[in-house]
Structure 1
Amino acid sequence: MNLSQVIGYLRGGINKLIYARNIRSSIFALQANSRIEIFSRHAKVVIGKFVFIRKNASIRVDFTGELHIEDKVFINDNCNINCVNKIFIGEHTKIAPNVSINDHDHNYKGETDQHLIKGEVIIGRNVWIGSNVVILRDTYIGDNAVIAAGSVVKGHVPASTLFLNKRERSFIPYAAANQ
C-alpha cells in the first residue's frame, strides 16, 4: 500500500467522523479532491468494505436520499453521484472516469409543486461502467452488465448484457450566411 492509498483511507475515516449520523461504513478510501456532501440530517449513506473512490469524485446526498455502495466497488476519477431518493451500487462494480449517476431530474416543466422529479438507480453486482456514461433516474442495471463508454442509460438493462448507444455519423448541409 502506498502513501496516497493510506491518505485516502484517512480521508474516508475523517468523512465518516464528520457525517457520523449519516454515514455507516467500514473501511473505504477517498482520494484527493474527492468529497462526500450530505445536505440533510435525514439522508443516509452506506459504504461497504474496501470501496475505493479516486480523485475529484463528487458524491452528494440530500433530502431523504439513500446511497448504498456495496463491498469492493471502485469509482474512478471525476465521477458525480447525486442522490435525493435512492441509488444502490452492487458489490465488485467498476465505474470508469467521468461517469454521472443521478436519481432525479429538475422539474423544469413545473407540472407539480415539487422542484425535483425523483426516481431510483439500481446497479447490480459486478457491473462495468465505461468512461463518460450518464445514468439517469429510474434505471435498473442487472448483474454482470457492461455499459459501453459514452452511453446514456435510462430504463432497464438486463443482466449479463452489453449496453451501448449506437451513434451514426450524419452530416446535414446548411446554407452559408454570406450567400
Structure 2
Amino acid sequence: MNFSQLIGFIRGLFYKLLFFKNIRSSIFSLQSNSKIEVFNKMARVTIGEFAFIRKNASFRVDLDGELIIGEKVFINDNCNINCVKKVSIGRNTKIAPNVCINDHDHNYKNEGDSHLIKGEVIIGENVWIGSNVVILKDTVIGHNAVIAAGSVVKGHVPSNTLYLNKRESKYISHSKLNEVKSS
C-alpha cells in the first residue's frame, strides 16, 4: 500500500466518524479533495468494503436520501452524486471521470408543494460507466452494462448491453439563426 492510499483510507475513516450516525461502511478510500456531505439526520450512506473514490469527487445526500455504494466500486476523479431519495451502485462497478448522477429534478413548474421531483437511480453490478456521462432520475442500469462516454441516461438499460446516445452534428448559419430570432 502506498502513502496516498493510506491517506485515502484515513480520510474515509474521518468521514465515517464525522457522520457516524449516517454512514455505515467497512474500509474504503476517499482521495484528496473528495467529500461526503450529509445534510439531514434521516439521510443514509452505505459504502461497501474496498470502495475506492478518487480525487475531487462530491457526494451530497439530503432529506431522507439513501446512497449505497457496493463493495469494490471504483469512482474516478471529479464525479458528483446528488441524492435525495435513492442512488444504488452495485459491486465491482467502475465509474470514469466527470460522471454526474442525480436522483431528482428541480420542480420548475411548481406542481405540488415540493421544490424537487424525486426518483431513484439503480446501477447494477459489474457496470462500466464512461467519462462525462450524466445519469438522471428514474434510471435502472442492468448488470454488466457499459455506458458509452458522453451519454445522457434516463430510463431502463438492460443487462449485458452497450448503451450510447446517437449524436448528430448540426450546424446552423448565423443568417438562419437571425431569421429564427426575428420570427
Q: TM-score range by the shorter chain?
A: over 0.9
Q: Which aligned pairs between 1:77-92 and structure 2 lie closer than 5 A?
A: 77-92=77-92
Aligned to 2:67: 67
Aligned to 1:22: 22
Letter in 1 for 2:87: I
Structure 2 distance, partners of 1:35, 1:25, is 15
SS at match of 1:92: coil
Aligned to 1:10: 10
Aligned to 1:108: 108
Deviations 1:49-102 (A, max 9, x none): 000000000000000000111100000000000000001000000000000000
Structure 2 residue 165 is matched with structure 1 residue 162? no
| TM-score, scaled relative to structure 2 | 0.95
Structure 2 residue 132 is matched with structure 1 residue 95? no
The structure with more helix, counted as a fraction of residues: 2
Identity of aligned residues (%): 71
Residue 176 (structure 1) shift: 8.2
SS at match of 1:42: coil
Deviations 1:117-173 (A, max 9, x none): 000000000000000000000000000000000000000000000000011112222
Q: Gaps (5+ residues) in structure 1?
A: none
Structure 2 residue 51 is matched with structure 1 residue 45? no
Structure 2 distance, partners of 1:176, 1:105, is 33
Residue 174 (structure 1) shift: 3.1
Aligned to 1:57: 57
SS at match of 1:15: helix
1:3 and 1:173, CA in 2 relative to 1: closer, same or farther beyond 3 A? same
Deviations 1:14-45 (A, max 9, x none): 10000000000000000000000000000000
Structure 2 distance, partners of 1:113, 1:177, is 39
Aligned to 2:117: 117
